[in-house]
Amino acid sequence: MSARYNPAKDIDLPLPTAIWVLSAHLFALLVPLLLITAVTHHWTELTTLADYPVLFYVAAGFMMAGSAFEIAQNAIDRWYLTPEVGSANGTGFCDMLFYACIVASQGLVAVACMGDRIWVPLLAIAMTALFPFLYLRQFAQSLPLAVLGLLAAAAAWLQLDQPVVLLQLLLAPLTLYFFGGLLQTGNQALHGFTTLAASSGVLFLVWGIHAAATGASPGWGGVIAAAIVVVIAALALRSWLYGLPPTPRRTV
């Protein structure tokens, strides 16, 4: 009989940090279920608001698959992120599949909203197909995600007529804000914040679907106020956050 397996041996993080980072990834894995729930609950309204609402389900599936591949890449990297590992600025097979799934999910959201405009599915297909080639060459690999992320948010705004979905666009710079802090300081707690920022865009899409179906919209005032608060908080905390000490690597 072999000795029992201890998962902690494959996680180079102190226990509190490990709990926080893994919890953030569990959130990222499961949060697309809210999109499935919202689409199912508001299906009747969505059939008049979106061109192909069934594709929201497919998009949610790709989001969850992407999170699973991200978790796999983090496990390969033993959950301790440094600039050279696949989960950060390095490369890895699971990392490529993670981004490929997220790119596809954004294209699917755009087509779900505005698929009757032929250029939307054509652009979504082109960017999704282009991504693996750019990743393999490590050239402009963020371009497809940037293009389709912007397209998905714009399409949701135009079809749902809810400005709250545009808050998704704030999460991209916020993700880079935390990710930059993580790589500069080595403080692994920022990995959890990076993950939450990167995965929370679906919450604003869900909010937009609910608001469009029920009329309970925060309006432009609430959206602008929330964006201003986030920007001010990020600027105010930057010096402190980027001065955090590195997390000691757990060794067995």
Q: What is the DSSP letter of 140?
A: S
Report pLDDT for 250: 81
Measure the CA–CA gap between 51 and 198, rounded to whole angstroms. Answer: 26
Task: Compute the mean pLDDT over every residue in the chain, rounded to the nearest whole number.
Answer: 95
Q: Which domain holds residue 231?
A: 7-241
Domain count for the chain? 1
Whether 247 maps to a domain, the answer reads no
Cα radius of gyration rounded to whole Å, the chain: 19
pLDDT of amino acid 215? 82
What's the confidence (pLDDT) of residue 12?
94
Predicted pLDDT of residue 1? 54
Q: Are 98 and 70 in contact (CB under 8 A)?
A: yes
| 71 located within any domain | yes
Has residue 178 been placed in a domain? yes
Tokens 């983090």 -> residue = 74
Please state the pTM of the whole predicted model: 0.94
Q: Is residue 145 part of a domain?
A: yes
The confidence score (pLDDT) of residue 4 equals: 85
Is 250 contained in some domain?
no
Q: Is residue 1 part of a domain?
A: no
164 contacts 218 by C-beta, under 8 angstroms: yes
Q: How far apart are CA 64 and CA 94, in angstroms?
A: 14
Amino acid at 63: M
- State pLDDT tens for residues 75-103: 999 999 999 999 999 999 999 999 999 99
Give average pLDDT by consecutive 10-residue segment, the chain, 252 residues.
78 95 98 98 95 97 98 96 94 96 98 97 98 96 96 96 94 96 97 97 96 85 93 96 94 66
Q: Is residue 223 a part of any domain in this protein? A: yes
Contacts of 205 (CB under 8 A, 6+ apart): 35, 109, 156, 165, 168
pLDDT for 5 equals 83
- The whole-number pLDDT of residue 252 equals 60
Q: What distance in Å separates the CA atoms of residue 201 and residue 236, rounded to the nearest whole number?
A: 23
Q: What angle do CA 163, 127, 90 make, to 5 degrees?
A: 100
- Nearest alpha carbon to residue 149 among 119, 132, 133, 173: 173
pLDDT at 2: 64
The verdict on residue 182 lying in a domain is yes
Residue 225: phi, psi to the nearest 5?
-65, -45
